[in-house]
Amino acid sequence: MRLERPLLLLGVAFSLAGCIGGPASAVYVMSQARDLQQTQTANANMPALQVETASLPSFLDNSDILVRRGPYVLDASSTGHWGERLSLGITHALSADLTQKLPGYRVSLERSDIPTSMRLQLEVDSFDVYPDGHCVLAASWTFVQKSGTTPPASGRGVFTTPASPAQHVGDEELVSAMAGTIAELADAIVGSM
């Protein structure tokens, strides 16, 4: 009997702490919801482009929104986090951007049996986000034909989103800046094809 009361009090204390702790953190993704009509218009005879899951440094590949606060310091946002690992978020955002920019291709995250299909491999070296909304993405990409051969199309680049003019930059502005940087990457990938 004596043990039940302290456990009950502890449970009440945790419940109250949860209520006092403030609002729940927001969940973010970098890509907008896909338009169902847009996905259905892809013709089965179109050349296919499979976007493979982006490869990035392991310290970035988690669900924290990380902000660089110094040369060696990354802080996780206390007000928001990713709805998926960052590697998947980058892959989904890039796939959505390429779908818009390559209307003659069937862009997918799945392998295709179409003979003219290609795979896009993306290697992210760094993706730094700063408190003022400034983003720097360094990445390289390679296209691999279905047969496994690598065509000459590949590239490398550093993509930057400038600092925000806003006085206060929150998670939403940081996520928007990161999505803009991925859109710049998509432009460069399309230009290298």
Mean of the per-residue pLDDT values of the chain: 82
| Residue 12 confidence class, pLDDT cut points 50, 70, 90 | very low
How far apart (Å, rounded) are the C-alpha atoms in residues 174 and 164?
9
22 in a domain, yes or no? no
Q: Does residue 181 lie in a domain region? A: yes
Q: Residues with Cβ < 8 Å from 58, sequence gap 6 or more?
A: none
pLDDT band at 16 (very low <50, low <70, confident <90, very high): very low
Q: Look at the chain and report how many structural domains it folds into.
A: 1
The pLDDT-based confidence of 17 (bands split at 50, 70, 90) is very low
More confident residue, 66 or 24: 66
Q: Do the domain assignments include residue 149?
A: yes
Residue 103 placed within a domain: yes
Is position 84 within any domain?
Answer: yes
* Reported confidence tier of residue 8, pLDDT bands at 50, 70, 90: very low
Contact (Cβ atoms closer than 8 angstroms) between residue 24 and residue 84: no
- Identify the burial level of 94 via C-beta atoms within 10 angstroms of its C-beta, where 0-12 means exposed, 13-18 middle and 19 or more buried: buried
Q: What is the pLDDT of residue 66?
A: 93
pLDDT for residue 116: 63
pLDDT at 56: 95
Query: What's the CA gap between 39 and 180, in Å, rounded?
Result: 22
**Percent over 70 (pLDDT), the chain:** 75
Q: Which residue has the higher pLDDT, 72 or 40?
A: 72
Rounded average pLDDT over 115-119: 76
CA distance 101 to 49: 12
Residue 148 forms part of a structural domain: yes
3-state secondary structure of 63: coil
In whole angstroms, give the CA distance from residue 79 to residue 51. 30
Please write the tens of the pLDDT for every residue from 43-94.
Answer: 667 888 899 999 999 999 999 999 998 889 999 999 999 999 999 999 999 9
| 119 within a domain of the structure (yes/no) | yes
Say which residues have a Cβ less than 8 Å from residue 104's Cβ, sequence separation at least 6.
46, 47
Query: Based on the number of CB atoms within 10 Å of its own CB, is 192 exposed (0-12), middle (13-18) or buried (19 or more)?
Result: middle
In this structure, is residue 24 part of a structural domain? no
| Domain housing 184 | 33-192
pLDDT in tens, 102-113: 998 889 887 666
Residue 55 DSSP one-character state: B
CATH number, domain containing residue 126 = 3.40.50.10610
pLDDT in tens, 137-168: 999 999 988 765 656 678 999 999 998 887 77
Q: Is the pLDDT of residue 11 over 90?
A: no
pLDDT value, residue 177: 92
Q: Which of 3-12, 94-103, 110-119 has the highest mean pLDDT?
A: 94-103
